[in-house]
Amino acid sequence: MGVSRINARFKKLNLEGRSGLVTFTTAGDPDYNTALKILKGLPGAGADIIELGMPFSDPMADGLAIQEASIRALNGNMTLKKTLKMVRSFRKNDQDTPIVLMGYYNPIYIYGVQNFIGDALAAGIDGMIVVDLPPEEDKELAIPANDAGMAMIHLATPTTDQNRLKKILKNGSGFLYYVTIAGVTGTAKPDLKPVKAALDNFKEISQIPMAVGFGIKSPEDAAQFATFADAVVVGSAIVDIIKNNLNQENVANSDLEAKVLSFVSKLANGVQNARKKHGVPL
């Protein structure tokens, strides 16, 4: 399916006249089985797009919450191969919810770029966000991924001007991920106004759907950004719930999955009703 599953999802959101919720969790956090149960429950809880973290030993652009999620997963012997397996298992019951992998380049490079793109598409993965591949390195992965029909979601940030955006969008597909703050994941809540101004500015030169993420932690925050963004990403806040529902040996409490999904429902509620509540789309 690849990029077309993502495109279909944004079309649907557009028809419904609402923003979408993108959830982030790390594959294998806190363990393979619990992570899979969470993954399977996400669409029902209201996730419109699923971002799945590929654990990495050196997550340079992540704050503590997602760093620790990576470490928990790696301590449980999570690998990129098992991440693909997890998605294959998810796809048995869900053909509509796009799954986008997020992580760092080295594990993909070591897997082998062409093999990885093929195996990932076959597993039911639709796109990738690779944090340490700026457009200067598009030939590494973005171009072969696009050629194979896999979305390569590029990032734009507060340091991005219109010229740079053109370069970013050249081989960017699926959607644009706007990082709301100059910083790592899991930091303070961003101000609404500059984010909206940046997106307005970007919309002048591109029609690609634009998601916003970083620092969005509560259903209320999510609702605010959902008034104007095509999708809203929540990551560290979900990962924090996982962390807070582990026992002393880092084993999941029996109600961990329910707690995560209940929080996702609240986020979804906020996002889905944002424009109704706030009236006309901004």
How far apart, in whole angstroms, are the C-alpha atoms of residue 269 and residue 282? Answer: 19
Q: Binding of other proteins at residue 271 (CB under 8 A)?
A: no
Residue 220 bears catalytic tag: no
Q: Which listed residue (12, 114, 122, 137) binds other proteins by CB under 8 A?
A: 137
Q: Binding of other proteins at residue 154 (CB under 8 A)?
A: yes
Residue 51 bears catalytic tag: yes
Q: Which listed residue (16, 60, 115, 170) binds other proteins by CB under 8 A?
A: 60
Q: Are 268 and 22 in contact (CB under 8 A)?
A: no
Q: Binding of other proteins at residue 81 (CB under 8 A)?
A: yes
Q: Which listed residue (13, 99, 102, 131) binds other proteins by CB under 8 A?
A: 131
Give DSSP secondary structure letters for 147-206: HHT-EE-EEE-TT--HHHHHHHHHT--S-EEEESSSS-TT-PPPPHHHHHHHHHHHHTT-
Q: Binding of other proteins at residue 215 (CB under 8 A)?
A: no
Q: Which listed residue (15, 136, 249, 279) binds other proteins by CB under 8 A?
A: 136
Q: Binding of other proteins at residue 187 (CB under 8 A)?
A: yes
DSSP-assigned letter for residue 279: -
Residue tagged active-site, from 29, 51, 126, 257? 51
DSSP-assigned letter for residue 60: T
Q: Label residues 88-119 b or e (16+ Cβ within 10 Å = b).
A: eebbeebeebbbbbbbbbebbeebeeeebbeb
Give residues in contact with other proteins (CB under 8 A).
55-64, 67, 71, 74, 79-81, 104-111, 131-134, 136-137, 154-161, 164, 168, 179, 181-184, 187
Q: Name the residues annotated as catalytic.
A: 51, 62
